[in-house]
Structure 1
Amino acid sequence: MTKIDSAILKQKQHFEILDGLRGIAALSIVLFHFMEIVYQPSKNFIAHGFLAVDFFFCLSGFVIAYAYHQERIEKMGIAAFFKTRLIRLHPLVVFGSVLGLLAFLFDPFSSHPETYETGKLILIFLASVFLIPFPAMPDRYFNLFGLNAPAWSLFWEYVANILYALFLYKLSRRSLFLLTILAGAGLCFVSYRAGGSLLGGWNGETFWDGAARISYSFLVGMLIFRSNWIIKSKLGFISLSVLLMLAFLIPFTEWNWLTEPLVVLFYFPLLIALGAGATLKQGFRKLCIFSGKISYPLYMTHYAVMWLFANYYTTYKPETTELFYIISIGTLLLVGFAYLAMVFYDIPIRKYLTDRRKKV
């Protein structure tokens, strides 16, 4: 561990503003998923909301490098690291799969369940629970996880965590820098091959795009921490939230081949560096903490409703005013449901598993 790492760790920082930005990104994903069902990208005001996933990946690399530095990994052991990460992430993977199955079976606006044999549906559900990519639902665009589409990014998050515990945490800063450069080149290649967009990784056809997206962003997040690229400033939560939202509000144009890689390669790392060194006013502390806590439950529980909404929209073609109320109220209700899932399911389950693990 470097002297820089030691100095930062001794401060026992908790990056509340970054927690707050994670919540802003999760909320943007929800709005993006609502809007992409209704509008073509060129008419979608939050057409680049999907880039929030790349922000998540970058933030994850930073946080993992901070929380599980070399000294701690070697002290706790790889097995303990894997158990800790499973307890943190997997309860909501299971919960999201169950929600997805229930929404699929009891969707009042669709007859799709009738087209699937029971055996195949069981396989799809088990693949979702155990986070095994299984793009087997043509009516859902061959999503890697047809019952809970956002789980594709969790799959790659698991891969990144495994590779981190096996060898990434041991890399020197120079090696990490070179690997990040190579990953950045791979990301640019994926964008070029896909016709100038990074909107890939979520289905069978674009599976490896997900590897490119997390490779660069996770590594550069690590590099920011390991290199102490933390920019001290007087920027606060509101200012940084606005800066983050600007990336998602960039219009979808023929310049995507340039704007999207620039945002992911440089803008998001800059925001992480600024967020880590920003000044948090006391009045926003609780909001940031709540925002950070609700982000993962919101991300992993919202998509079952998206399939219901998509089938409702296809069936009834609601007008713009009705859509405004549906999306606005629906987003608030999803945040409320995510809070209930967090309080009554995720936190108790994780506490139970953690306590049981300590007794073993």
Structure 2
Amino acid sequence: MPPDAARSAKGHYVVLDGLRGVASVMVVVFHLFEAWSGGDPERQIINHGYMAVDFFFLLSGFVIAYAYDDRWRGMSAWAFYKRRLTRLQPMILVGGLLGAALLGFQHSSLFPKLASVTAWQVLGVLALGFLMIPMTPAAEIRGWQEIYPLNGPQWSLFYEYIANILYAVGLRKLSNRAMGVVVAGSGAALIWMLVAGPRGDVIGGWALDAEGVRVGLTRVMFPFFAGVLLMRLGGRIRLRGGFAIASLLLVAALAAPRFGVGDQRWINGLYEAACIIGLFPLIVAIGAGEQRADGPSVRVARFFGELSYPLYITHYPLIYIYTGWVVDGKPDAARGALVGAGVLAAAVTIAYASLKLYDEPVRRWLSTRLFGRARA
């Protein structure tokens, strides 16, 4: 690593990856607390943890533009797709297999359809998940209307792929001014959904119906292409202790309480719009401006960065079990906290083992076969 850079290679910012890891941990904690909220976002303790997905989209736009904007002269769209599939698809298989393996432990009053599901249905859902083919509400097996019922968070990868395809087939060719128009228009649509919509939040995107698709596309379009534009405009802020500052800002934003209830839900919508449109780009700019090549904070960022995607894409089968146990078993808070800590530890262990024993070796093998070189 060069002494003046906090990234190990083209397209890989250590501190930005670390921030993705911080957001992934917050997602797991959010889902653990969600088991106690009774489906009411106003009772959720880590209230805005779902906005980590919007932060992921912004990060993805930034790093993809940095990695690929200047490489298209010698690269086809299919070559780009192969690189993205190599990066993302191996762990999608693990998440699906883990969801299928743990399905027998997830029976609960929350998931009424599981009582009658057959092995053939599970195999069919698993195959569709491997191929990233979403399921309609009538066809899914859990009863939560998830497009990937074995591993709910996979829905965000569906929209990640859509944004990647839009970038590759033409939006990457836009000038900064034209990209600014796309970002402004998608930002206006996001604000309208948050402020004028009935809920005042960005929750949703995992159902294959008109509302779910509208929310999913609205959630991905602004942050992803805002990330692209931010990179092109040189969005970097150099601060001493940038990783720590950016992490604290991110955790505070995701952990903030609900703002406004009932007829005042638009207040919460304004807060989320301010985070996604203003604060999250600021956090990414601070992370991109971190210049240290080594040191404790960079080593921590590297660990969180390596863990981020495996943790996000494998933790939810455990959450299904934990949520069903909380709802049906009604444990006291102390017992619930103890078991929840165990779930978090298990999720981190599974993610790290998957990374080292499967994901990195498989990606090296695929990169060697597809591109003639090994890239972890």
Which SS does the other structure have where 1:18 is aligned? Answer: helix
Which residue does 1:173 correspond to in 2? 176
Q: CA deviation at 1:194?
A: 4.0
- Alignment CA distance shift 1:326-1:319 (3 Å): same
> Where does residue 341 of structure 1 map in the other structure?
354
Q: Are 1:237 and 2:236 matched, yes or no?
A: no
2:12 and 2:63 in contact (8 A); partners too = no
More helix by share: 1
Q: Which residue matches 2:13?
A: 15
Q: Which consecutive residues of structure 2, in runs of 5 or more, have no partner in the other structure? A: 1-6, 261-266
Shift in CA distance, 345/79, structure 1 to aligned 2, threshold 3 Å: same
Question: Who is 1:228 aligned against?
Answer: 234
- Residue 118 of structure 1 and its aligned partner are, at CA, apart by 4.2
Decide whether aligned partners of structure 1 residues 277 and 358 sit closer, same or farther in structure 2, where only a CA change above 3 A counts. closer
Query: Is 1:152 paired with 2:151?
Result: no
Q: 2:184, 2:372 → 1: CA distance? A: 44
Answer whether contact 1:196 1:256 (CA < 8 A) is retained.
Answer: yes
Q: Does the aligned pair in 1 maintain the 2:223–2:276 contact within 8 Å? A: yes
User: Cα deviation per residue 1:225-248 (whole Å; 9 max; x = unaligned)?
Assistant: 111122222242222111111111
Which amino acid in the other structure matches residue 362 of structure 2? Answer: I
Segments of structure 1 that go 5 or more residues without pairing to the other structure are: 1-8
Matched, 1:49 2:52: no
Cα deviation for residue 210 of structure 1 reads 0.8
- Say if 2:136 is the partner of 1:132: no
Residue of structure 1 in register with 2:225 after alignment: 219
Residue 4 of structure 2: aligned partner: none
C-alpha distance in 2, partners of 1:118/1:283?
48
For 1:81, the aligned partner's letter is F
Q: Deviations over 1:149-189 (max 9, x none)?
A: 00110001111111111112211000000110000011122
Q: Report the CA distance shift for 1:159/1:321 in structure 2 as closer, same or farther (over 3 A).
A: same
Instruction: State the Cα distance separating 1:279 from its structure 2 match.
Output: 4.8
Q: Answer whether contact 1:235 1:279 (CA < 8 A) is retained.
A: no
In structure 1, what is the equivalent of residue 90 of structure 2?
A: 91
Question: What is the aligned partner in structure 2 of residue 120 from structure 1?
Answer: 121
TM-score norm. by structure 2 comes to 0.88
1:58 is matched with which residue?
58
Q: Corresponding residue for 1:142?
A: 145
Distance in 1, Cα, partners of 2:58 & 2:119: 39
CA distance in 2, matches of 1:167, 1:190: 26
After TM superposition, where is structure 1 displaced by more than 6 Å over at least 4 residues in a row? none
Is the 2:26–2:52 Cα contact (8 Å) retained in structure 1?
yes
Aligned equivalent of 1:275: 287
Q: Deviations over 1:197-240 (max 9, x none)?
A: 11111223422211111100001000111111222222422221
| Alignment coverage as a number of residue pairs | 350
Q: 2:301 aligns with which of 273, 288, 294?
A: 288
Query: Letter of the aligned partner of 2:279 in structure 1?
Result: Y
- CA shift, 1:43, in A, is 3.0
Shift of the alpha carbon at 1:122?
Answer: 3.0
Greater Cα shift, 44-53 or 324-333: 324-333
Letter in 2 for 1:103: L
CA RMSD in angstroms comes to 2.1
Deviation, 1:341, is 0.5
Q: 1:61 to 1:359 in 2, by over 3 A?
A: closer
Q: Which residue of 1 aligns with 2:363?
A: 350
